[in-house]
Amino acid sequence: RLGRPLVHRLAHDVAAIAPAVAHLGVLHGRETVYLLRESTPVAVTVVVDVGVRLPATLTASGRCQLALLPPAQVRALFPSRQSFVDRTGRGPMALTALRRLLAEEAARGWAEEDGLVVEGYASVAAAAVDRSGRPVASVGLTFRSDQVDVPERVRLARAVRSVARELSRRLG
């Protein structure tokens, strides 16, 4: 309820930058579950849809939330190599690689993936947090990798960070 108008506005606001799909996701164990989806006027065909579950370690939406969890909780979620999923031959496949990636993304304030879920598609996402600073959701954008250069990705990341901050404020 609180996220829907923000995700809708995000899709509208980034339409001038690139065709994209805006979405809101939550962590459910080792997976990202998508609860909301809004497309820019120029549609992009993506795997992200309401109810879709994807490995949290491969999605920007999952990793931006994992980056804010206590290290012990991340270790409990991913205790062994068998805890990791490989979809495209890239992405973290061990806890040490995941921790390194999460530290970089936590320091930057947003997560990015490119081709880890589906070749040719990328995403940026930022976490919304509750009063205690725990991640409760992510706000993200998914787009075609070849249609968005680095400066545009940074602009998209700034947009998702802004919306995630607003959602955090509304949560309380």
Amino acid 124: pLDDT = 98
Confidence of residue 48 (pLDDT cuts 50, 70, 90): confident
Q: What is the pLDDT of residues 147-164, one digit of tens each?
A: 999 999 999 999 999 999
Q: What's the full length of the chain, in residues? A: 172
- Above 90 in pLDDT, residue 74? yes
Tokens of 6: 């923000």
Q: What's the whole-number mean pLDDT along residues 41-56?
A: 81
pLDDT at 44 over 80: no
154 φ, ψ to 5°?
Answer: -65, -40
Tell me what the mean pLDDT of segment 4-9 comes to. Answer: 96
Say if residue 35 is exposed, middle or buried (CB neighbours under 10 Å; 0-12, 13-18, 19+): middle
- What pLDDT is attached to residue 87? 87
Identify the CA nearest to 56 among candidates 41, 74, 43, 42: 74
- Tens digit of pLDDT for each residue in 103-122? 999 999 999 999 999 999 99
pLDDT at 15 over 80: yes
- The token duo for 48 is 């992200």
Average pLDDT, the chain: 94
Cβ neighbours of residue 33 closer than 8 Å, sequence gap 6 or more = 25, 26, 27, 51, 52, 53
- Per-residue confidence at 41, pLDDT binned at 50, 70, 90? confident
Global pTM value: 0.93
Section 43-68 average pLDDT: 89
| Neighbouring C-alpha atoms within 13 Å toward the C-beta of 109 | 11
How many angstroms separate the CA atoms of 22 and 7, rounded?
6
Instruction: Report pLDDT for 151.
Output: 95
